[in-house]
Amino acid sequence: MNQRTITLLLFAALLVQHATAQPRIFAEGVISTGDYETHPAFSPTGDTLYFLKGLPDAGFFSICVSYKKEGKWTIPQVAPFSGQYTDADPFVTRDGKMLYFVSNRPAKAGEPARSDWDIWKVEITANGWGKPIHLDSTINSSSSEYFPTLADNGNLYFGSGRKGGKGRSDIYVSRFIDGHYGPPENLGNSINTADNEYEPYIAPDESYLISATEWGGKVTRDGKYFFFGSSRNKIRDTLPQREDMKAFDHRLHSAGNGLGDIYYIEMKSLLSVSP
């Protein structure tokens, strides 16, 4: 596979060199607020957004959903299947009928929450949601799995801290053949290192892979934009004049306060400067 890799750790240097390719905050005040938001995932039609809202210390996340109506995004709500356990890393399939995510929820009813993260999927129907399904031991291990994304051919890419890897966490692919997932394959030295790789986004045609050690992102179905989470902090900026407590309090509780917001940038800008 002719595959290019963009590492999110390179973004800062690349964007400084190309000032026209600056990320923009997304839907400020509705999606990106003074809370902790990250990990956006759009429906194929682009009018439904799933993303995470969580505690400032990242100790708990819920998957939230917002709909674009009359050109504006609705106030987010916790997705019906989320809100009890820590859920994260949503991904919607090409046909819009299935959402993959990771969770510490128990695989069997009545068991306690897990100490690791496993990959789950839930059907999106015209009438609502199906029951979340735990992927079997072909995919999930006794260690954590992260950030599932699927190519259009069904191949499943994800991060995992399972034994036998090259670092604390590596990126794997499980190939979808004859309706079944095969054993996960480590992507090897061109992707994985002795450090920590765990959040992959695979292009629909597998022509490139975007990997991260933190704050993974996703490309819109039309390939035009890359959405990602960032904890960049605008509050550190020097102000043109003194502000009173009311203004300062508003800024502390608005997007850009360092807790985490959702940003986007044109893919053509990234691909033109990628290694």
- CATH number of the domain that residue 123 is part of: 2.120.10
**Per-residue confidence of the chain (275 residues) as pLDDT tens digits?**
445 555 544 444 444 345 456 889 999 999 999 999 999 999 999 999 999 999 888 889 999 999 999 999 999 999 999 999 999 999 999 999 999 999 999 999 899 999 999 999 999 998 999 999 999 999 999 999 999 999 999 999 999 999 999 988 999 999 999 999 999 999 999 889 888 888 999 999 999 898 876 556 778 988 899 888 888 887 766 667 777 778 878 877 888 888 889 899 888 887 665 45
Residue with structure tokens 């609705």? Answer: 74
Give the model's pLDDT for residue 38.
94
In this structure, what DSSP letter does residue 141 have? -
CB–CB of 111/105 below 8 Å? no
Give the model's pLDDT for residue 10.
45
User: Nearest 5°: phi and psi at 108?
Assistant: -125, 140
In this structure, what DSSP letter does residue 206 have? S
Q: Which long-range contacts (C-beta less than 8 Å, at least 24 apart) are formed by 11-17?
A: 14/270, 14/273, 14/274, 17/273
Sequence-distant (6+) residues with CB within 8 A of 87 are 52, 61, 62, 63, 81, 101, 102, 103, 105
CB–CB of 102/117 below 8 Å? yes
User: Which residues constitute the domain of residue 243?
Assistant: 4-273
Give the model's pLDDT for residue 194.
87
Task: Show the CA angle centred on residue 169, arms to residues 53 and 158, nearest 5°.
Answer: 65
DSSP-derived 3-state class of residue 202: strand
Burial (0-12, 13-18, 19+ Cβ within 10 Å), 102: buried
Rg (CA), the chain: 19
Task: Tell me how far apart the alpha carbons of residues 218 and 187 are, in angstroms, rounded to a whole number.
Answer: 19
- Specify the number of domains making up the chain: 1
Task: Tell me how far apart the alpha carbons of residues 226 and 26 are, in angstroms, rounded to a whole number.
Answer: 11
